[in-house]
Amino acid sequence: MKGIHVGSIDNVATAIEPLEVGDKVLDVVIKEPIPKGHKFATERIAKGKPVIKYDSHIGVAEVDIEPGQWVHVHNIEGERGRGDLDSEVRDIDQDVERKTNVETGRESYKLTGYRRSDGSFGFRNHILVIPSVHCSNKVVERIANGVMYSDVERRDDTKVVYVNHQHGCSELSYDADQTKDVIVGTAANPNVYGVLVVGLGCEVVQAHTVAEEIKARAPYKKVEFFNIQACGGTEKSIRRGMDIVKNMLAEALKEERTEGTLADVVLGTECGGSDSFSGLSANPALGVASDIVVSHGGAVILAETTELIGAEHILAKRGINEKVSKEIMSTIKGFEQVVIDSNADIRGANPSPGNIEGGLSSIEEKSLGCIYKAGNSPVVAVKDYAKPITDKGLTFMNTPGNDIEQLSGMVAGGCNVCVFTTGRGTPTGSPIAPTIKVSSNTFTFNNMNDAIDLNAGTVVEGTKTIKEVGYEIVDAIVEAADGKLTKAEQNEQNDFSIWRLATTV
């Protein structure tokens, strides 16, 4: 097989390998070289007519395109996120039904973790050191590293982690509130046993306020704070912080794992560094895993609102009721309107240059492949960025497409494990939630093997099915829950970034 034709009404197909002039693929004679992962026309597409993949629009033809010709950014015009042309979101009428069968997996899955007194379940038991303001970043880093690179006792699932960020001061009120919410949610995550908040003292987002809100949300949690100014400077702050963290770590090591199930999973789904194979292999396989988690009573988060632009007509049909369906549509179209108001074309920012090189031609094409990672379960709720996930089932969280801002938002919402699909490759990982990386193709899996856990390229190669790889992902979730370190954890990734809403003042 040299090409994949996805939808029954698609007028393009994807090359599984580089194609040369004269090759016959899917009964189409190739008229020009087609790079691996890129599209070729399977029928004539007249200028101005829709280019269709996944049974949906991915743009319109800028010129007449003949069967066998390469179809990409040089002859496709995107229809969505076009702030350079439009003043409001385009209304493109599409009625698409995707299959609705939901995988349930094996009869039962057992895993272990740390049952918190509020009923939440942690797969890690870390001590988190976090700044309330970027002025505290270096002190936070030195506290955490001072403990971790000492001879203090620790376990792989119980150790000191830290994050830095560029926020906490010179922020307008609503922007500062978002910063505070993300810090509080991150610290309240059940994968965190205890937290030390380090402030400077004069910032907008005050350390004592953050600590109080963490304790209010997670009363069982050990929470301490102090300010560098009140402590008497850098060295005194580091010494005090290390003493606090060592004591917390000693207490955390007394905690014992207990048995849980997939009902205890809050799975964050993410795709980044995507290519054209992401929507054909890794994302559908993650969708199988997502459905299995939901079927066993767990929670799944679908995020990346940017990368749902052009696929909202499919997702909205999966709303559990009319209210949720309307919230899905308004959230995605509202996000797109912000892009349009910038008077710029979204293409080039998203899809990025790497996405484009990997065969993605428009935000619509990227989104239509992205949505597969949410499986086929109904959407039960729509949440704002970083807000707590309170429902079992599939929740849509409004986040940017930026990998680390999205990941941080899901973790702040309570995600205790994340599966991150990638076509081009990425080392990204949360310091708090185990982040399992799945490649869409075998080249990337081999090329970045020290950063990627699973290979869905076997689907493209025809050696495994989407269902088989989906089951492998569930098994990897269980193994990570039981304490096996992901590649991101082995590499000590501590990626953390907050979605900024306003200018610095």
Which residue matches tokens 């998203």?
Answer: 350
503/505 Cα distance (integer angstroms): 6
Residue closest to 58 by CA, chosen among 7, 2, 1, 3: 7
122/113 Cα distance (integer angstroms): 6
Cis peptide preceding 190, ω within 30 of 0: no
241/129 Cα distance (integer angstroms): 9
Cβ contacts of 365 within 8 Å, gap of 6 or more = 53, 54, 58, 59, 276, 279, 310, 351
Instruction: Look at residue 94 in the predicted model and tell me its pLDDT.
Output: 86
61/230 Cα distance (integer angstroms): 64
Cβ contacts of 206 within 8 Å, gap of 6 or more = 132, 199
Instruction: Look at residue 100 in the predicted model and tell me its pLDDT.
Output: 74
Which residue matches tokens 């007028």?
Answer: 11
Q: Is 266 helix (H, G, I), strand (E, B) or coil?
A: strand
Under CATH, to which class is 126-254 assigned? alpha beta
Give me the DSSP letters along 360-377. --SHHHHHHHHGGGGTTP
Instruction: Look at residue 101 in the predicted model and tell me its pLDDT.
Output: 86
Longest dimension (CA), the chain: 76
156/443 Cα distance (integer angstroms): 30
Q: Is 69 helix (H, G, I), strand (E, B) or coil?
A: coil
Instruction: Look at residue 96 in the predicted model and tell me its pLDDT.
Output: 79
Tokens of 283: 């994302």
Taking residue 88's Cβ as centre, other Cβ atoms within 10 Å add up to 10
Domain locations along the chain: 3-77, 126-254, 260-491
* Model pLDDT for residues 75-114, shown as the tens digit of each residue: 999 999 999 999 999 988 888 777 778 999 988 999 999 9
Calculate the alpha carbon distances from 433 to 59, 407, 452, 473 in Å: 37, 9, 16, 16
Calculate the alpha carbon distances from 441 to 8, 38, 425 in Å: 24, 14, 10
Contact 255, 158 (CB under 8 A): yes
CA-based R_g, the chain, Å: 23
Calculate the alpha carbon distances from 71 to 45, 347, 401 in Å: 10, 16, 25
Instruction: Look at residue 99 in the predicted model and tell me its pLDDT.
Output: 72
Taking residue 334's Cβ as centre, other Cβ atoms within 10 Å add up to 12
Cβ contacts of 457 within 8 Å, gap of 6 or more = 277, 281, 439, 440, 441, 442, 443, 444, 445
Q: Is 317 helix (H, G, I), strand (E, B) or coil?
A: helix
Sign of the CA dihedral 470, 472, 478, 483?
A: negative
Instruction: Look at residue 327 in the predicted model and tell me its pLDDT.
Output: 98
Instruction: Choose the CATH number for 3-77 among 3.20.20.70, 3.40.640.10, 2.40.10.10, 2.30.130.110.
Output: 2.30.130.110
The answer, as to whether pTM is greater than 0.95, is yes
Instruction: Look at residue 291 in the predicted model and tell me its pLDDT.
Output: 98
410/396 Cα distance (integer angstroms): 10
Burial (CB count <10 Å: 0-12, 13-18, 19+), residue 146 = middle
98/115 Cα distance (integer angstroms): 38
* Model pLDDT for residues 7-49, shown as the tens digit of each residue: 999 999 999 999 999 999 999 999 999 999 999 999 999 999 9
DSSP conformation class of 393? E
Tokens of 220: 């069982």
Length reported for the chain: 505
- Indicate if 126-254 has the same CATH topology as 3-77: no
Each of the 505 residues of the chain gets a pLDDT tens digit; together they read: 899 999 999 999 999 999 999 999 999 999 999 999 999 999 999 999 999 999 999 999 999 999 999 999 999 999 999 999 999 999 888 887 777 789 999 889 999 999 999 999 999 999 999 999 999 999 999 999 999 999 999 999 999 999 999 999 999 999 999 999 999 999 999 999 999 999 999 999 999 999 999 999 999 999 999 999 999 999 999 999 999 999 999 999 999 999 999 999 999 999 999 999 999 999 999 999 999 999 999 999 999 999 999 999 999 999 999 999 999 999 999 999 999 999 999 999 999 999 999 999 999 999 999 999 999 999 999 999 999 999 999 999 999 999 999 999 999 999 999 999 999 999 999 999 999 999 999 999 999 999 999 999 999 999 999 999 999 999 999 999 999 999 999 999 999 999 999 999 9
302/337 Cα distance (integer angstroms): 20
404/499 Cα distance (integer angstroms): 9
According to DSSP, the residues that pair with 40 across neighbouring strands are 13, 70
- Region of 368 please: left (phi>0), alpha (psi -120 to 50) or beta: alpha
